[in-house]
Structure 1
C-alpha cells in the first residue's frame, strides 16, 4: 500500500581570449655539413678565408633601401635607424646574435570555467533554516514565508506563512494530488480545475486546509508530475520546491523528511486554533519520521481497535474530505486527531459518533506502549 503523505488538518465546526603570443625569431637555415679536410689544406683554407673577409670589409657596399627596410622591421629597431650610413651603423652596438632555437610558447586551450568559490561559512549558515523548538515556532509571526527546522525532531521542517491565503496558494494543489477524495492521483490539477474543486467543497482557497503536512517522497512526486505535464507552478509553489530541496539536502539520504505548514492567526483562525493546528501537524511529522512511533500506531489500529472503531474514524475522515482508500493516511490522521487535537472546535467524541468514554478508550489503547518522545 503506498505511503502517501497525510497533508492536512481540516477545520471542524467552528504556501578568454587566447593570449597574444609573441613569437621568437625564425630559426636560421641549417648549416651544411662541412667537408673533411687534410691538415695542409685546412691551414691554407683558413688563411684564404681571413684575407677574403678583410677585403670584403673594405669594399662592402652600403645597405640597399630594401634591405634596410627589412632590417628595420626586426623587433627593437626603427626605420630611421636602419637608414643610417654604413659608417654610423658600424658604430652602433652590435645586435645580440639570434638564438639557435626559437622559444616555444605554449598556447593554452580554452577550458571549462573555474568552479565558483564556496560561499563563506557565515553566509552558508545564514541560509539554513533556524533550528527552533515548538514553543518558539508557535510564538512566531511571519511577515513573509519562512522555513524552520524543528529542534525536537530535526527531520521535520515547518513552513510558516503570513496568511491562510498564501498557504493555500502554495499547497492546495499538493493536497489535491496526495490525499483529497475524488481528485486524480496521477496528475497535477490545472489552476482552473483546482478552483473548481475548492468551490465544490464549499470552502475558499484560504480555508481549504488550515494546516498541511507532506513527506518528502510525496512532494518529490508532485514536482515531478508538474514538470512532466509542463504544468506551470505558482510563485508560492516554486518557493515550496526550494524549501523541499533545501530540507532534503540537510537530512541523510534514506531518512524521510516531513514538511509541515502553519499560517498566522487571522479572521478564519485565532491564536488557540493556531496552537492546536501546530500540535496536530507536528504529530504527523513524528509519524512520518519516527519508525517506532509509526509502527506502534499501526499495530494498535490493526490489532487493538475494533472494526466499529475503525469504521467510525473512516466515516469522520470521509466527511472531512480525506481519501479513506489510502490506509496509511487514515492511520496517520487517527493518531493526530485522537492524541494531538485538543481544541473541541476541531475534534470531539461527537465527530466519531461516540461518547466521551468511547474516545478515551481509543486514546488509552494508543498511549499503552507508546515509545517515548
Structure 2
C-alpha cells in the first residue's frame, strides 16, 4: 500500500503514535540523557515498531470488514537502565613554581620547614626570706632567691664537700691570696693550694659569695684555656646563666652558697654564715649601701683601724691587695657576724669598746 494511502487511513482512524513515557519510581535515579536512551533502546524500539505495523494492518482489516476499528493500545517501550557515566578525569594541579633567585643566586628547591623545638622550661628558684633559707634543708644542690632582694641568689648544698667541689676554683681565682688572678687553676694546682693552706676541699671555705661579673670571668677564662669544668662546676654554670636571665639587663647579681649543718658546722653556725653572706649580697647589689660603707671606711676609720682589718683578713687567706674585697669583708664581719666563733674584737687586736665605736660609725647614716 502506498505510504500516502496508509497515512490517510491512520488519520481517519485516529491512530496517532504517542511518545513512550518511561515509568520512574519515587526516589529512583533520574533518566539517563537522551543520547544514552536512544542507544540503549534501539533493539526494543525495533520490536515495538513491528508490533505497531501489525496493529495498523489488523485495524485496517477490521475497518474493511465491519467498518469500525478497535482501540489499539499504545506500544509499550521498555527503557534499559542507564549505564554509569565514564569517570571525568580530575585536573592535576601544576607544581608550585620554585622561589625566585635572590641576589643573583640560582633558585633551588625550597628548603624544608624547620621543626620547632619544644621549649624546655627550667625550674625557677623559689623566693624565700632569710629565716626560711636558714631552716631550709636540701638533699641535693638547690638554687634559692632572696625575697627582699631578688638580685641575690643562693645555692644550698647538702654537704660542704659538694659546695667545695663547685666553688673552690672560683674562690682561688677571685679572692684567695697567693693565687693567680688571670687564669683558672687546673685540678692538680687546686689540690696543691688546698693542702698548702692546711685545709680540705670541704673546709677551704665555709660559705661563698661572688658577683655575676666574677663568675662570668671564671667561666670565660676556663673556656679560653680549654679547661674542662667538673660536673659540679658545670651545674653551677647553668644556675648562673639562669639567675642572670632573671634580672633586668645591666643589673648585677650576687651568687652565695651555704651548706647544711654537719659535723664541721652546726645549725647556729649555718645561721651566722648565712647572715654574713647575705650582707655581701647587699654590698654587691645595693649601690647606695656600698657607697655609704666605702665612705665610712675611707673618711671615718683611721689608718690603724683599716690596717687591723687587713691584718685579720690576711690571716684568713684573703687577698688584701684587692681594696674592694677588704671593704666588703670589713662590713660583713663588723656588722653581720655575731657568732664569737667566727669574729670577736680580739681578731682585730682591738678592745671591745673600740670595735663597738667602729660599728656605730658604720651604722650612722646607713641607708
User: What TM-score do you get using the length of structure 1 for normalisation?
Assistant: 0.71
In structure 1, what is the Cα distance between the partners aligned to 2:329 and 2:90? 90
CA distance in 2, matches of 1:354, 1:160: 35
Where do residues 137-156 of structure 1 align in structure 2 (5 Å cutoff)?
137-156=133-152
Equivalent-residue separation in structure 2 for 1:160 and 1:358 (angstroms): 36
The match for 1:35 is none
In the TM superposition, residue 361 of structure 1 has moved relative to its aligned partner by 0.9
Give the Cα separation in 1 of the matches to 2:162 and 2:288.
Answer: 34
How many aligned positions are there?
274
Of residues 173, 182, 185, the one that matches 1:186 is: 182
Decide which of 291, 305, 321 is 1:295's aligned counterpart.
291
State the 4+ residue runs in structure 1 displaced beyond 3 angstroms. Answer: 91-99
Q: RCO greater where, 1 or 2, for CA within 8 Å and sep 6 or more?
A: 1
- Which digits, 9 at most, give the CA deviation of each residue in 1:67-110, with x for residues without a partner? xxxxxxxxxxxxxxxxxxxxxxxx996564796xx631228723
- Structure 1: how far apart are the matches of 2:259 and 2:236? 14
Which secondary structure does the structure 1 equivalent of 2:257 belong to?
strand
1:368 corresponding residue in structure 2: 364
Does residue 127 (structure 1) correspond to residue 123 (structure 2)? The answer is yes
Query: What's the counterpart of residue 110 of structure 2?
Result: 109
Aligned twin of 2:214: 218
The separation in 2 between residues aligned to 1:320 and 1:129, in whole angstroms, is 32
RMSD across aligned C-alpha pairs, in angstroms?
1.8
Pair member with larger Rg: 2
The whole-number CA distance in structure 1 between the counterparts of 2:203 and 2:357 is 32
Partner in structure 2 of residue 163 of structure 1: 159
Once the two structures are superposed, what CA deviation does each residue of 1:224-261 show, in whole Å capped at 9, x if it has no partner?
11111110111111111011000000000111000000
- Give the alignment of 1:1-373 within 5 angstroms: 96=88, 103-106=93-96, 109-118=110-119, 124=121, 127-371=123-367
CA distance in structure 1 between the partners assigned to 2:323 and 2:170 by the alignment: 19
Distance 1:95 1:338 in 2: 97
- TM-score, normalized by length of structure 2? 0.72
Q: Which runs of 5+ in 1 are unaligned?
A: 1-90
Unaligned residue ranges in structure 2 (runs of 5+): 1-82, 99-108
Flag the 1:296–1:105 CA change in 2: closer, same or farther, 3 A. same
